[in-house]
Structure 1
């Protein structure tokens, strides 16, 4: 069949494959699509729809596309479906602000709409309200954030966004969304924004005065797809990932009990990803009480299972048709310093855990636990308890998650599927297994408590092997295969 005889819908799908993944920082390569536009008028029209389906507003980027010509182009206006708004770190906002009342804008009250007069506010308002077919919106905050604590010793970073500045950015975007929703049906606006993505959202609870405001309620009521990547304070010169910050202990309960429940009935798609492993330590998330009666797609990133009932909340969502597990793990061994455990024990359950005696694995003066959970049990329950599931994905990239590529995830039984927690290590207490053979490191890997010598020192022999992936290989592989076959048969 000659190319000219291919139906336009099929040709569009083919050209869409020219969008090429590169890496996690620059996930899309556009050069091939640009070249395709030069072939003929038909290819130009079809390739343009893919090329400008997603556009980004980034006032801090050098050499970025000017936003005014972009939104004033009828061709681009017609094809844009997704808008990415990159927030400005605090100092960048000062640099581009053209008036003298920048401090008034940064600290404005909820009912003050002066943010629309800033360069950032003007650009956001224009992009959100003038793209007629816009359906989804993403706010990308900076990865660098600072929690609520003394900062005298903090090494300043020009990319750090304060809590107040992040909230102000969110309010500015929400005000623009509110204006758009009020104008749908006028000025050629045909769509309501129903998909909201917040990338690098700081793990700090929204203030009640914001979530109870008409602004928040009027915008969020339209959202049926919510995608969250949660960032946490990370003091790189530390070099630890700031495990003891209070937000690490309080945000997951807030997410489970306050942020998600009011949205539960309206959501059809939900993504929960953190920039660090979450769910077990130093806060507990078991999803109890969360019921999403209309949820079709759930993506979990960096989620760790540490109790036999911790995945029950996922299995309770009987409407699920797609489940994606992106770098999700089962914790096999956990070590917590005594001083940390004194703080955490009130909100971290230990049911299902076996406690090892002091001296096990070569650890002194620590709380040491083991968990016997297996992926075989999890896969079997997914197979049996999610009867509508038609797509299942599970991947474990050794370095980064697939938050921006979740729709293209595959399924594989990785050697990284089990993990250990060791609070005495930096930069992260979550220690991955070897990606090639599954070998793990947890102290000296020996659960035996060795006797002390005359000097009071325990003597250890040759380091033992610790490999949960190998121990559970047969059962995990059998359950994984059964699940994939069942999912394929339902399509």
Structure 2
């Protein structure tokens, strides 16, 4: 059999594998397309098929040296005006624009030039570039990628250090308005030309954890979101990289998850077929609570949760209520086994405490006045409930990459039982209160690891040096392994 005898469909699938991540162990590593570019040189057929893969996803970003918008150093105007790329481009990633490009009084000399139809907000270089999506008739998905660092609500008396990579709330809001405006303009063209596709998938990477009701209640937002049936959210938060650590005291940490559950998601519930909820840090239990009660997605087929923490026996019920689910992905999701909350935070947060056992003051070596708690939940119970409660499930994935979630590679996520599946919470710990177990052993660290009450006159060594081994993964290994394997066996059998 000659290579020319291979059906084009099979050859296309094969060529589509000719890319690699620059760092395979880093889920956020960029893709290297060198082999795919070389494949275009083989023959006309390979050129056509490889081109479709090479230009399937475009990234609109600004070159730092000149501020011009490009894709892989190719001028953006050349990209959107290329007939070849117009035919094959299906996905676009739009990186939020630098502050110095927000206002540009002279847009007439930028790539593509401004048009009379451009709104005032779109008169800058960024707006002109984004409006170029109207020239890509086959787009199916769009991603807005904000900077990871953001600026939340601040008290002027607080010491907080920002750098040039920090994006303000107003900057992010303007980016959303500009991109949504371009999507709406393109949607108007769809009504006139049935050969233009509708953007159905929206990804917001590093969306800030601050409610923006003035935008989400606008006609612009509603006009765009009515077409969306796939929504993928990566939520970023304001954090203090240097100096006194006050991250947990950000008001957004206490308010955003209830807003997500009660206001942002419900209006979209009936139209979504795929949903991804991922945060940059563990979420769901404390300092805010998310149990999904009241959320019903009757048409949801795929749900991906990233960094979600289970801390109550009924906290996963909302997932099990989505009976239409065929794919469930758990990306660095955990069960919290031990928690320590300092007294002043305990009074302020007022999180639910049902299912928590409170240890006596001084347990685990912590000082008196702190609240030290334990949760008895196990993955064995969660896995069994998934197997029994989601009868249509055909794919189950669960991974725990150390320090990195797989938001950008969720569709290639596998399934493994990790030693990292349990963790602890200590509100006095920096830089993160979420303390993961050791990757290879599952050994945990929580105070001195000893639930016995530490005497008031205890030395620093007695209070803070581990006195016992603490390993929840080891304690639950038999039951968790049995339930995990039963779940995988059942899901595969349904396929």
Contact 1:451–1:458 under 8 Å retained in 2: no
Alignment of 1:230 onto 2:239: no
Contact 1:89–1:160 under 8 Å retained in 2: no
What's the counterpart of residue 82 of structure 1? 91
Contact 1:451–1:459 under 8 Å retained in 2: no
Q: CA deviation at 1:326?
A: 0.2
Judged with a 3 Å threshold, the aligned counterparts in structure 2 of structure 1 residues 325 and 459 are, in CA distance, closer, same or farther, namely closer
Secondary structure in structure 2 of the residue aligned to 1:370? strand
What's the counterpart of residue 478 of structure 1? 482
Q: CA deviation at 1:189?
A: 4.4
How far, CA to CA, are the matches of 2:29 and 2:86 in structure 1? 24
Alignment of 1:374-389 (within 5 A): 374-389=378-393
What's the counterpart of residue 408 of structure 2? 404
Residue from 314, 320, 323 that aligns with 1:315: 320
Q: Higher mean Cα deviation, 294-303 or 189-198? A: 189-198
Alignment of 1:440 onto 2:444: yes
What's the counterpart of residue 75 of structure 2? 66
Aligned length: 473
Alignment of 1:130 onto 2:139: no
Q: Report the TM-score, using the length of structure 1 for normalisation.
A: 0.93
Task: Flag as ranges the 4+ runs of structure 1 deviating above 6 A.
Answer: 455-458
What's the counterpart of residue 358 of structure 1? 361
Contact 1:361–1:443 under 8 Å retained in 2: yes
Q: Higher mean Cα deviation, 327-336 or 25-34? A: 25-34
Q: Higher mean Cα deviation, 237-246 or 389-398? A: 237-246
Q: Higher mean Cα deviation, 400-409 or 64-73? A: 64-73
CA RMSD of aligned residues (A): 1.9
Alignment of 1:142 onto 2:147: yes
Per-residue CA distance 1:302-345 (angstroms, 9 max, x = gap): 00000000000000000000000000000000001111111011
What's the counterpart of residue 303 of structure 1? 308
Secondary structure in structure 2 of the residue aligned to 1:359? coil
Q: CA deviation at 1:27?
A: 2.9
Alignment of 1:18 onto 2:18: yes
Alignment of 1:275 onto 2:280: yes
How far, CA to CA, are the matches of 1:476 and 1:156 in structure 2? 43
What's the counterpart of residue 395 of structure 2? 391
How far, CA to CA, are the matches of 1:81 and 1:61 in structure 2? 26
Contact 1:131–1:189 under 8 Å retained in 2: no
Gapped regions of structure 2 (runs ≥ 5): 66-71, 108-117
What's the counterpart of residue 201 of structure 2? 195
Judged with a 3 Å threshold, the aligned counterparts in structure 2 of structure 1 residues 186 and 457 are, in CA distance, closer, same or farther, namely closer
Q: Report the TM-score, using the length of structure 2 for normalisation.
A: 0.92
How far, CA to CA, are the matches of 1:72 and 1:89 in structure 2? 24
Judged with a 3 Å threshold, the aligned counterparts in structure 2 of structure 1 residues 92 and 362 are, in CA distance, closer, same or farther, namely farther
Alignment of 1:335 onto 2:340: yes
What's the counterpart of residue 249 of structure 2? 244
Alignment of 1:417-456 (within 5 A): 417-452=421-456
Gapped regions of structure 1 (runs ≥ 5): 101-111
